[in-house]
Amino acid sequence: DADVTQTPRNRITKTGKRIMLECSQTKGHDRMYWYRQDPGLGLRLIYYSFDVKDINKGEISDGYSVSRQAQAKFSLSLESAIPNQTALYFCATSDSRGTGETQYFGPGTRLLVL
């Protein structure tokens, strides 16, 4: 969905490096999410934010941090990357005024930690 963009799209990094993944949206949604996807494990929620001043841990937040710089921007940081953080990362948005928390996903960032 072009309304939700993620940068970079692909990234290779080394163990111990700090890395930031960025997400921007033009949908005007107040809620934003970071997921990771691994084969056989599906989408797992890392962090979510219901508005600019709200940050919540998801089911797998250890080793990650986030920043909601504005309503339209939500970044995910790996302070010290490790190989088991190799995965496909998705940002998503939803509108609290909408129905059923329908999620709109970005194109994903493929991260490889060596």
Binding site for other proteins (CB under 8 A): 1, 4, 33, 35, 40-43, 45, 48, 58, 88, 90, 92, 94, 96, 99-108, 110
Residue 62 CB, nearest approach to other proteins (Å): 18
Distance, in Å, from the CA atom of 83 to the CA atom of 73, rounded to the nearest integer, reads: 26
CB closer to other proteins, 72 vs 105:
105
The contacts of residue 100 (CB under 8 Å, 6+ apart) are none
Residue 90 CB, nearest approach to other proteins (Å): 5
Residue 43 CB, nearest approach to other proteins (Å): 4
Q: What letter does residue 35 receive in the DSSP assignment?
A: E
Q: What 3-state class would DSSP assign to 10?
A: strand
